[in-house]
Structure 1
């Protein structure tokens, strides 16, 4: 029986709705799965056949430490998703990489720690003429330290940007797309490169709401049907990611969060390849589909290891 670590964090205890269904599904698929905190120093990661990143949601506050841990785990077992994907995906500068190869993304301006906050904000507003906009750090989860502003709130927004830059954190500025309030976000879930299901998330940022501090803020999730245009974009995103990261096999999991752009077409908000919620509750059978992919990938990895290099 293959052994699998479902990697979580103490801070996520009681918040990961996917954990129990996945444990049950793994057992049904013939996998011995166990939830383990990533920073538990007593764990011998080499005793597992694989380590699946599920809810290590405090990594955004400890990114260097988390990536060093990922490197260690990658040396002693199979990390899912792969290390080079995790390094890339934990910082939202990946959006610029995808935009460069032709993927439609939410328009984004990146502000680096050496920038002057008000000057950067002014340049952004001049370029995009946004009535509302969003300030967020490039390393974040669950809308943490993210806030929505009106155009006349430039001083307050500038202070927000400045605080993040002073912490040596890069910042993203994005126009707030009005479609979000009506349509929400569409999340498309892929397991082993195959489409599993879709969920609709209600708007996460209310007008006048302060920046969140909880790293797992999420709500208003319902099942939905992805449109052909949404699925087509999601598949282009996966293809582009495989090319950019030089992947030889499909990713174990991917969540692709899309919005409706100003042109009425879907565009990428976030590509979640590290620790996304997978919304099993909204799609009966989805946990079993994921567990089957995990069993398949761990078996394939064992066979390749026994065969040795070609």
Structure 2
């Protein structure tokens, strides 16, 4: 009988789908099923669950980690720790840049059209905000998600009071004009998976009345701007997923309102093969072959 050592039996690749407690992530189950169709074992796990063995995954996919805004330092420490154990997508360095909306300042400085923004940090005078001639203001902290801690107001006193409350809490406030054209045009979100354009969505305004999100064919100028934004914001091959949110200014030109690289909804339900596209792009990051450990 041969006593030669047998090679280890390959095991299915394992993917952790990072989420958080108490959320309804409608994209999770379709994406997990898409991985299963490819012979990949994928499961949803809470990013801050101390019992999770992150080293046991070949890839950790950062998805619905929507509670990070209350504990950004801890979240970034987790991302760096997981990156030392396995592959994280998007990478920790991307999450660190993207979880503070001050990244918009850098993109504007690089010559990209960004929605006009005033920045007020702790200790900064709010004079510029008081003098802004925009009919309505939107005030929000630079670390936030959705419309959390966001105020829309035509009352300067109310807007300034919110700026003061944010800065008193040690947060940086960003002040932008409310763009009425979003009530007709909406925002256009362009979704990229594996570095390639996948689909686009027309989104209703988050502040005030809106309309249903629907699939949309982006205009040539929107697609061109999204490509420019991503070329400046990331290295080639750095991003597994990205969402570029654009609006049109009063003169009709597109401008960036947000670049979502951390935990955006990808609107996979509005793309017929969206979950499969994401799973396929993620599988391209997996090591081959994957042997048992």
- 1:188 aligns with 190
1:58-73 mapped onto 2 (5 Å cutoff): 58-73=67-82
Equivalent of residue 246 in structure 2, options 258, 269, 280: 258
- CA RMSD, aligned part only? 1.8
Residue 139 (1) aligns with residue 143 (2): yes
Give the Å deviation of 1:256.
0.6
1:1-310 mapped onto 2 (5 Å cutoff): 1-12=12-23, 15-117=24-126, 119-123=127-131, 125=132, 129-150=133-154, 153-206=155-208, 220-242=212-234, 247-299=235-287
Give the Å deviation of 1:135.
0.3
Give the Å deviation of 1:120.
4.2
Q: Deviations over 1:69-119 (max 9, x none)?
A: 1111111111110111110000001101111111111011111011244x2
Q: How many equivalent pairs are there?
A: 280
Q: Deviations over 1:195-242 (max 9, x none)?
A: 1011111111018xxxxxxxxxx9831111111111111111111112
The 1-side partners of 2:208 and 2:34 are apart by: 36
The 2-side partners of 1:21 and 1:169 are apart by: 37
The 1-side partners of 2:71 and 2:283 are apart by: 30
Q: Which moved more, 1:28-37 or 1:136-145?
A: 28-37
Give the Å deviation of 1:250.
4.2
- 1:213 aligns with none
* Structure 2 SS opposite 1:298: coil
The 2-side partners of 1:231 and 1:93 are apart by: 23
Give the Å deviation of 1:30.
2.6
The 1-side partners of 2:240 and 2:211 are apart by: 25
The 1-side partners of 2:170 and 2:283 are apart by: 41
Q: Extract unaligned runs of 5+ from structure 2.
A: 1-11
Q: Which consecutive aligned stretches of 4+ in structure 1 deviate over 2 angstroms post-superposition?
A: none
| Preserved CA contact (<8 Å) 2:118 2:129 | no
Give the TM-score taking structure 1 as reference length: 0.86
| Preserved CA contact (<8 Å) 1:11 1:57 | no
Q: Extract unaligned runs of 5+ from structure 1.
A: 208-217
* Structure 1 SS opposite 2:247: strand
Give the Å deviation of 1:284.
0.8
The 2-side partners of 1:121 and 1:248 are apart by: 37
| Preserved CA contact (<8 Å) 1:138 1:171 | yes
| Preserved CA contact (<8 Å) 1:135 1:171 | yes
